[in-house]
Amino acid sequence: MTDPASGASILVLNAGSSSIKFAVFDADLTETLSGMTDAIGGASTLRIGDETRDVALADHAGALAAILDALADRGITPDTLRAVGHRVVHGGPNLTRPMRVTDDVRAEIANCTPLAPLHNPHNLAPMDALARLAPNVPQFASFDTSFHATNPSVATRYAIPKMIETKGIRRYGFHGLSYASLVRRLPEISGMPLPSRLLAFHLGNGASLCAIKDGQSIATTMGYSPLDGLTMGTRSGGIDANAVLRLVEENGLERTKELLNHESGLLGLSGGKSDMRKLMLDASEDSAFAVEHFCYWTLRHAGSLIAALEGVDAIAFTGGIGENAVDVRARILRGLEWTGVQVDPDGNRRSRSRLHTNASPVAAWVIPAQEEQMIALDALALLSAE
């Protein structure tokens, strides 16, 4: 482990609506420490390493201060940090690569708030707090949307009048940090070059697919927001716009937002369960239907992205469900046998990295998600460039 006092540590912050996850990496991008603050503004807790304690956290600024104090107790202070990297959900049309956080970049992230009102303000909060608490530490931002900046306009443009599209109403795509990490790590794990036509599954509480051609995203299932596409833990996934308008007419705008984002998906279908592990253990018809709905719509969208790729050379799973839900993975791979993929049942059952047989013309892999490490890598690359 690198001595924190060497000044080689990179702190990564991933802020959500009521939490801040953090991880510390050394110069070799090895994670040396991690933790999170949770339930900010409520019955909040701080976990660092194996230690968890109750702590009063009124807001994100207070949460960051608590994180910095906890890190200081472990010998990691702002003076010993080489950089801080932040996950930012939405970079909009202009922030399409990792960037150093300057006043202009910070302003552009704020300008994207209408595109991600549930995310970007919380991503900005620790940046602003850190700028006050440790102004000399360089900060960098990595954007969940930027990996999809290579999508052609025919994939990102909604069929709406241009004057509306120029206001930012278009498809962006998300989970970009996960897909960027997958593209980097797959050749390391497989020992082979990156497949030309790669179908990537990021399956977790939030879920999406990405068509990756020669290392670049050309299509993805999420659109203007993370609500579109697959059935998810609490999000509805794709739903007809007129159905949304009716829900707004009957329930009002704010209630409809809550319904579609927090009460739908697996939770709504099963009558109360959003965790795939609990659904798989529940023998009820509603839970079984929720799992089948998830798999069915994942396969429906997979067919669309394979068409965009004009075929497929490899399939890769990542995310909590993608990495751990053996039966879900088996169901999806069985539904893709028409592509030529031949599954090794024992490899899948044991969640090995390689899921395909020697005779399979289409490869299938499990790639552990390492988004925080990707953010650290982005920060390190920008530091080196400077």
* Average pLDDT, integer, range 85-102: 96
> Using N-to-C axis directions, what is the helix angle for 120-133 and 103-111, rounded to 10°?
160
Q: At CA 358, angle to CA 319 and CA 347, rounded to 5?
A: 40
More confident residue, 328 or 27: 328
* Domain residue limits, the chain: 4-143, 194-371
User: What phi, psi does 195 have (nearest 5°)?
Assistant: -60, 145
The bridge status of strand 81-88 relative to strand 139-143 is parallel
Which residues, at least 6 apart from 140, have a Cβ–Cβ distance to it below 8 Å?
83, 84, 85, 86, 98, 99, 100, 101, 375, 378, 379, 382, 383
Confidence of residue 2 (pLDDT cuts 50, 70, 90): very low
CATH fold match for the domains 4-143 and 194-371: yes
Please state, for a pLDDT cut of 70, what percent of the chain lies above it: 98
Query: Model confidence over 34-70: pLDDT tens digits?
Result: 999 999 999 999 999 999 999 999 988 899 999 999 9
- 103 vs 386: which has the higher pLDDT: 103
- pLDDT recorded at residue 1: 36
Q: Band of the pLDDT at 7, cuts 50, 70, 90? A: low
Give the model confidence (pLDDT) of 287-298 as tens digits. 999 999 999 999
Q: What is the pLDDT of residue 386?
A: 84
Annotated catalytic residue within 38, 73, 128, 144? 144
CB 172 within 8 A of CB 114: no
Mean pLDDT of 120-133: 91
Q: What is the pLDDT of residues 255-289, one digit of tens each?
A: 999 999 999 999 999 999 999 999 999 999 999 99
Give the mean model confidence (pLDDT) for residues 162-173: 92
pTM above 0.85, yes or no: yes
Burial 9-20 (b: 16+ CB within 10 A, else e): bbbbbbbbebbb
Annotation: CATH topology of 194-371 = Nucleotidyltransferase; domain 5 (3.30.420)
Residue 3 has pLDDT above 70, yes or no: no
Query: Does the annotation count 3 as an active-site position?
Result: no
Rounded to an integer, the average pLDDT of 111-125 is: 89
Q: Which fold has domain 4-143?
A: Nucleotidyltransferase; domain 5 (3.30.420)
For residue 226, what is the DSSP state?
Answer: T
Average pLDDT, the chain: 94
Contact 151, 220 (CB under 8 A): yes
